[in-house]
Amino acid sequence: MKLHPLSVPYRAISRGISVGTSVVFLGITLSGTGAIPDLIGPALVGLAILGVLVTAGWEVAYYRRFDYELTDDGLDLASGVVSRRHREIPLRRVQNVDISRNVIQRALGLAALDLETAGGGETEASLRYVGYDEAKRLQREIQRLKRGGAATDAGESVGRPDDPEETLFELSMPELVALSLLSFDLRYVSVLAFGPVAFPFVPGIADLAFLGGIVIVGLLAVGLWAISAVFTFARYYGFRLSQVGEELRYERGLVQRYDGSIPLEKVQTVTVRENVLMRRFGYAALAVETAGYAPGQTPSGGSEAAVPLATRERVLDLAREVEPFDPPEFERPPKRARTRYVARYTLALAGVAGLLLGARALAGRPDLWYAPLALVVLTPVAAQLKWANRGYARADRHVVTRNGFWQRTTKIVAYDRVQTVIETRTIFQRRRRLATVVIDTASSAGFGGREASAVDLDRTDARRLRELVGRRLHERLGERWTERTGRR
Amino acid sequence: METLNPRIRLVWGVGVLVTAAVLGVGVGVADRFALGVGAWIAVVAAVAVLGVGVGYVLVKYRVWAFEVRDDDLYLERGVLTRVHTVVPFVRVQHVDTQRGPIERAAGLSSVVVYTAGSRGADVTIPGLTPDRADALQERLRRLAIESEGDFDAV
C-alpha cells in the first residue's frame, strides 16, 4: 500500500519552507564573507526556488519508493530513496500504535502513524502520512490480527463493528481547567535557575539581590506557571481513555490531536503521581508505562497513555483496572534515615554558601554569602517530609514503591514484569546500615533514574526484598504458565 | 560465591597506571606553563593517583563475587557504592563473551549478560579464564532457554 497522495505536497511544502529559508540564510551569510561571489536578490530567490524544487522532487521519489503492507504476521515496510530498507515487524511484538494530527493535517485528512516495539530507542515504523481513516483501520487491524484474526483488504473492515469500546475516563472541562492550574511543570523550572545566577553580574542589583531577587523569581514563577497552564490545557484538551478488548485507547489534544493504543498485556509499570497542590485538593495523575516508550517522551512527540488528573479514588480505581493490586500498606524507611537527609541538605546549603563565598572573593559580592546557611533550621522539616513520603509495600502480586514530597510518585510493579533487582549501598548508607533496592522493568521510563526504587531500607529488609522479588517473579511466571497451558 | 581470577588485578592495574601517567603529564604541563612549582609536583600527583588506584583495585577485587544460583545470576561488586544484582535467567536476552587487548595479554575474558531492563540492561563479569568464560556463557545460555517457557521476555 502507498502513503496518502496528499502527503507529497504536505511533506514537500513543510520541508521546502525550511530548506528554502536555510538556503537563503546561507547565501546571505556566505556572500558577505567573500567566499562565493556576491549574491543579489534574484539569485537568492532562484537558489531558494531550486532548493524547494529539489525537495519536492525528493518527496515525490520518497512517496513512490515507500510501500507498506499489513499481513497476517506483521507489518512489512519497504522504504528509502537511495538506500533501500525492508523491515518486517512481527505483530506480537508491537507495543503501541499512535496516531497524531496537527491542525493542517486535520484539515487535509492526514495522520502520522507510529508503531513502537520494545527494541531500540527509536520508533520502529513511522508512516508519514496516511489518511486518517487508513490510520484508524491499521490501528484496529493490528489489534485484531494480534488476537489471531486473518487479514482483510482495505475498505472491507472500515465501519465493521468492533469490540465494544468502553470509556474508562473522560476529562471534563472543570477538571481540565483544574489540571492546567495545578500542574507546574518542573521542566520549565530549569529556565528559572538562570534568573538568580545572572543577578550578581547586574550592577547595583547585588545589594538588592535578596529582596529584588525574590520578587523577580516570584514573577518568573508566575509567568512559568501561566505558560505551563496554557501548554497543559492544549495538551489534554478533550482527553478520553477507553478500553477496547485487551487494549487501552486514548485521545487528546487541542492543536495537535493524538490517539493511541496500548495493549494491556504489555504494561510494565503503573505510576501514580501527585504533586503538593494535587495532594492538597485530593487529586492524582496516572501513567501507564510500556516497553515502547513512556508518556510525555519523544520519539512519538509526547504520546500519552495516562490520566492527567482525576480525584485520587478514581485514579486508584483506574490503576486497579489496569493492574489489579491490593491497597498497599507502606512501610517507611527506618527513622535513622532522616539524619541522612538532614546531613545531605546541610551539605548542599554549605556548598551553595561556599560558592557564594568564592564569588565574593572573585567579584567582591554578594556580601550576604552566608545567607543560605539560615535555611539550615529548615532541614529537619525537609528531612521529615522526605522521610514521611517514602516507602514500599509488598503485596501479593505487586511491589509498590513511593518517593518524593514535591512530586510524590507511587510505582506499582507486578512481580512478573521484573527484569533485574539491584540493591545498592553508598558509603553514606553503609554507615547507617541502609540500602536501596531498585526494581528494574523493561519500561523505557526508567532512563534517568525513574525506576521503581525502595530507598533507604534497613539492610536486612533490603536483602529480604531483593530475594523476595526474584522468588515471586518465578512463582508468578509459573502460575501464568499453568494458567495458559491449563486453558489450552 | 565464586571469585574472579586474581590476574584481573593486573588488567585493572594497567588502567590505573594509564590514568596516573596521563594525570602526571597533565600536571607536568600545567606546572611548566602556569604553576611553576617544579617538576616534582607531577611525580607526586602521579604517585598519589597510583597509590589510591592500586588500593581501589585491591578492594574492588576483594569485593567482586558472583554466583550462578537455581533461578538467577547473583553479583556483588562496588567499592564506594556496594551493588548487589539479581538477574533472573528468564530475563536473559543473550550472553556474550568479550576479550579486550589487555585482557587477552593477561589471558582473561569477560562474560556480558543482556536483559531487556532499562537500567541493569547489561551485566559484565570480568576476570574469567577463557575456558571458564565459555563454560559460564554456555551454562547461562542453557539455563535461560530452560527457564523460558513460552514467554515473551518483555
CATH of A390-487, one of 2.30.29, 3.30.110, 2.60.40, 1.25.10: 2.30.29
| Residue whose C-alpha cell reads 556576491 in the numeric block | A38
B117-141 tens-digit pLDDT: 776 668 899 999 999 999 999 998 8
Beta bridge partners of residue A285, listed in sequence order: A273
Mean pLDDT of A401-423: 91
Average pLDDT, chain A: 81
The whole-number pLDDT of residue A413 equals 92
pLDDT the model gives residue A157: 44
C-alpha cell read off for A182: 495545578
- Which has the closest alpha carbon to B136: B100, B103, B98? B98
Task: Enumerate the domain spans of chain A.
Answer: 7-64, 337-384, 390-487
Model confidence at A21, in pLDDT bands (50, 70, 90)? confident
Q: What is the pLDDT of residue A210?
A: 61
pLDDT band, residue A399 (cuts 50/70/90):
very high
Q: Where are the domains of chain B?
A: 8-62, 67-148
CB B56 within 8 A of CB B96: no
- Res. A187 pLDDT band, cuts 50 70 90: low
B81, B86, B154 ranked by CB distance to A442: nearest: B154
Does B86 contact A447 at a Cβ distance shorter than 8 Å?
Answer: no
Q: Label residue A282 left, alpha or beta by phi (over 0 means left) and psi (-120 to 50 means alpha).
A: left
Q: pLDDT (tens digit, 9 = 90+) per residue, A301-315?
A: 334 567 888 889 989
Identify which has the larger pLDDT, A147 or A256. A256
Would you say domain B67-148 falls under CATH 2.30.29?
A: yes
**For residues A81-105, average pLDDT:** 86
Give me the residue label for grid cell 477507553: A242
What is the average per-residue pLDDT within A91-106? 86
All residues of chain A having their beta carbon less than 8 Å from the beta carbon of residue B147 are: 474
Residues of A in contact with B118 (CB under 8 A): 419, 440-447, 451
User: What confidence tens digit (pLDDT) does each residue in A348-394 have?
Assistant: 999 999 998 898 888 877 778 888 888 889 999 999 999 999 999 99
Residue in A with minimal Cα distance to B115? A419
DSSP string, A49-97: HHHHHHHHHHHHHHHHT-EEEE-SSEEEEEE-SSS-EEEEEEGGGEEEE
φ/ψ of A447, rounded to 5, equals -60, 130
Look up residue B146 and give its three cell numbers: 530452560
With an 8 Å Cβ cutoff, is A291 touching chain B? yes
Predicted ipTM of the assembly:
0.86
Q: What one-character DSSP code corresponds to residue A326?
A: P
**pLDDT above 70 for A209:** no
The DSSP call for residue A317 is H
pLDDT on residue B106: 92
Q: What is the pLDDT of residue A154?
A: 45
**CB of B68 within 8 Å of any CB in chain A?**
no
Residue from the list A423, A442, A467 with its beta carbon closest to the beta carbon of B118 = A442
Vertex A290, ends A288 and A293: CA angle to 5°? 105
Q: Which residues of chain B have pLDDT under 70?
A: 119-121, 148-154
Residue B123 contacts A where some CB pair is shorter than 8 Å: yes
User: Is the Cβ of A428 closer than 8 Å to some Cβ of chain B?
Assistant: no
Unique residue bearing C-alpha cell 525513574: A450
Q: What is the distance between the alpha carbons of residues A462 and A457, in angstroms, rounded to a whole number?
A: 6
Per DSSP, what are the bridge partners of residue B123?
A: B113
pLDDT for the residue A264: 83
Q: Distance from A477 to chain B by nearest Cα, in Å?
A: 8
